[in-house]
Amino acid sequence: MVLEYHRVGGDPDFAPEWTISARAFRRELEYLRSHDYHPVNARDF
């Protein structure tokens, strides 16, 4: 399982290394979907 996070609001100069932009997050989701990986949520478990 892979978890990704992105920061919403706050000081843009203070961002932990594990944050990614919304654009990069969408791009990675599209890549995963195109390779037959699909996002799941807690209800799927």
pLDDT at 20: 72
pLDDT digits (tens, 9 = 90+) for 1-45: 555 555 556 666 665 666 677 888 888 888 888 888 877 766 766
pLDDT at 4: 59
The structural domains of the chain, with segments of one domain joined by +, span 1-45
pLDDT at 38: 74
Contacts of 6 (CB under 8 A, 6+ apart): 19, 20, 21, 22, 24, 25
Query: Whole-angstrom Cα distance, residue 30 to residue 25?
Result: 9
| pTM as predicted | 0.47
User: Please, how many CA atoms are within 13 Å of residue 36, restricted to the half-sphere of its CB?
Assistant: 0
